[in-house]
């Protein structure tokens, strides 16, 4: 698939921004597990285009004395994040699954809540007759939430893992507050689904009327592809392996139907109240005898958006930049760029890169997508005119002839809709209009129609996205250049 990233030259923060015309992505890979292994789906990103004249890194511009001093936003941002990637995480699940307690305890164990404050919460919750709610109060800050013992709005807070700065959104589980939960989920890159392992409680949340299913479907439909399932309150079932497997088996079937890939879902046994397996791997022999996987924090640290790989055809791209994928005409953000297995802040024409993208559903990406500047979208069409040269073919090419269109990494079924004219091989002048057929060695102008929209450019404007091959019956029968879209 391709990224085309065209952009206009502007003077911004003392730099000239080179047009980014396009970044072809050759193969889109999805980071899986809530984020562990990299699988290779059938998607492939292929073209990141950037303009040919300017395929360099931004050049510094001399400022006049009148210019106001500019803040180096990029440097300031790096200071703020400590060079770590930003990730938005939403916590979802049925009411009373222990979401707020789980995340409140995790924040306490990470040192985000000091001991004095935690002690105060413990005393106040005891007085209120809700001793087990102390950790939930870290996130449930309003009097009404504490009084009812129910999260009502999306609580937001920040914490850090080894490689990420996480914005945590604790979403309400109660069905009355689904609109609030959607607000949180719509901003998320990845999600934690919390389920209650207690007998009867998991079933109540999972069966008809429970929020486990609805939340799972909602986050998937809002574009979240990576999910960590925290099987919570495992201490209440004595860390039984059988109970854990029963829950993961039922959830696994449902999540697959909801559109999650198995490799993008991870299951972690936890105890929110006891703090087991949250920030360090549990030492409890009841758990370690059958579970040697990651703790919740390690799994969160593996999170990212999905990845596409390909070549930048023109211009350059920077971390944090907005991109437009054509087709399907959807915008996303480049959260990370990897060049030769190393994280970089920018990449330019000629580089083969992997991009971590967020803000878009991976299902909408197909082989042949081009990523470009939203201000200068690449052309997308199902019909175009082209000049072709017919190779060695045994049968004549006629109107309605079926072919396979090959360009960059795209292979798309197409039909020759019209034979417009036969051209002179050297001068390009029309020698015959509306021919009935084309034979070996002829130069011709034709009209092609593809089954699905494809991202192309005119050959005169951008050679890499303007030339193609036609195949039929396992052989290449013609080469062509696009003249009109």
For the segment 429-463, what is each residue's pLDDT rounded down to a tens digit? 899 999 999 988 889 999 999 998 999 999 998 88
CB neighbour class for 236 (10 Å; exposed up to 12, middle 13-18, buried from 19) = middle
Per residue in 76-119, pLDDT (tens digit) is 655 655 667 778 888 888 877 888 889 888 988 988 888 888 88
Structure token pair of residue 5: 């990233």
pLDDT band, residue 55 (cuts 50/70/90): very low
Q: Class of the 85-301 domain?
A: alpha beta
CATH superfamily of 11-58+303-372: Translation factors (2.40.30.10)
Residue intervals in the chain for CATH 2.40.30.10: 11-58+303-372, 379-484
For the chain, helix, strand, coil in percent to 5 are: 25, 35, 40
Residue intervals in the chain for CATH 3.40.50.300: 85-301
Q: Which residue has the higher pLDDT, 325 or 79?
A: 325
Q: Class of the 379-484 domain?
A: mainly beta
Flag whether pLDDT at 63 surpasses 60: no
What pTM was estimated for this model as a whole?
0.58
CB distance 29 to 362 below 8 Å: no
From residue 301, how far is each of 63, 232, 246 by CA, in Å? 41, 19, 26
Flag whether pLDDT at 173 surpasses 60: no
Q: Write down the pLDDT at residue 400.
A: 92
What pairing do the DSSP bridges indicate for beta strands 322-326 and 369-372? antiparallel
């Amino acid at each position: 698939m391709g990224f085309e990233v065209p952009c206009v030259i502007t003077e911004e923060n003392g730099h000239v921004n080179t047009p980014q015309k396009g970044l072809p992505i050759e193969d889109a890979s999805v980071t899986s597990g809530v984020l562990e292994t990299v699988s290779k789906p059938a998607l492939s990103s292929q073209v990141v285009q950037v303009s040919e004249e300017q395929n360099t890194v931004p050049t510094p511009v001399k400022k006049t004395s009148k210019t106001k001093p500019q803040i180096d936003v990029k440097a300031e941002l790096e200071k703020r994040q400590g060079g770590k990637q930003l990730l938005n995480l939403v916590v979802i699940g049925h009411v009373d699954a222990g979401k707020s307690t789980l995340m409140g305890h995790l924040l306490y164990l990470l040192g985000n809540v000091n001991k004095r404050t935690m002690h105060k919460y413990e005393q106040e919750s005891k007085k209120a007759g809700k001793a087990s709610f102390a950790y939930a109060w870290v996130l449930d800050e309003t009097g009404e939430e504490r009084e009812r013992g129910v999260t009502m709005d999306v609580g937001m807070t920040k914490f850090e893992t080894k490689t990420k700065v996480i914005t945590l959104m604790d979403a309400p589980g109660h069905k009355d507050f689904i609109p609030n939960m959607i607000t949180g989920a719509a901003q998320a890159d990845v999600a934690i689904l919390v389920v209650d392992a207690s007998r009867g409680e998991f079933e109540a949340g999972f069966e008809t009327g429970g929020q486990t299913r609805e939340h799972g479907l909602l986050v998937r439909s809002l574009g979240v592809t990576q999910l960590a399932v925290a099987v919570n309150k495992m201490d209440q079932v004595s860390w039984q392996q059988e109970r854990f497997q029963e829950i993961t088996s039922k959830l696994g079937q449902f999540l697959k139907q909801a559109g999650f890939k198995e490799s993008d879902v991870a299951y972690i046994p936890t105890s929110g109240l006891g703090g087991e397996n949250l920030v360090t791997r549990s030492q409890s022999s009841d758990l370690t005898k059958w579970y040697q996987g990651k703790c919740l924090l390690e799994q969160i640290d593996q999170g990212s958006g999905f990845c596409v790989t390909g070549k930048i055809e023109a211009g350059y791209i920077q971390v944090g930049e907005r991109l437009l994928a054509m087709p399907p005409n959807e915008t996303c953000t480049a959260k990370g760029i990897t060049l030769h297995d190393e994280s970089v802040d920018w990449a330019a024409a000629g580089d083969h890169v992997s991009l971590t993208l967020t803000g878009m559903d991976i299902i909408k990406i197909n082989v042949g997508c081009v990523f470009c500047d939203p201000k200068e979208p690449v052309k997308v069409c199902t019909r175009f005119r082209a000049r072709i040269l017919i190779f060695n073919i045994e049968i004549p090419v006629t109107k309605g002839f079926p072919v396979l269109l090959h360009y960059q990494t795209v292979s798309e079924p197409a039909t020759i809709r019209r034979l417009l004219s036969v051209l002179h091989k050297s001068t390009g002048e029309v020698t015959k209009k509306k021919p009935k057929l084309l034979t070996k060695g002829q130069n011709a102008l034709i009209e092609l129609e593809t089954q699905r929209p494809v991202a192309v450019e005119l050959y005169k404007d951008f050679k890499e996205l303007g030339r193609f091959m036609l195949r039929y019956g396992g052989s290449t029968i013609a080469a062509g250049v696009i003249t009109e879209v």
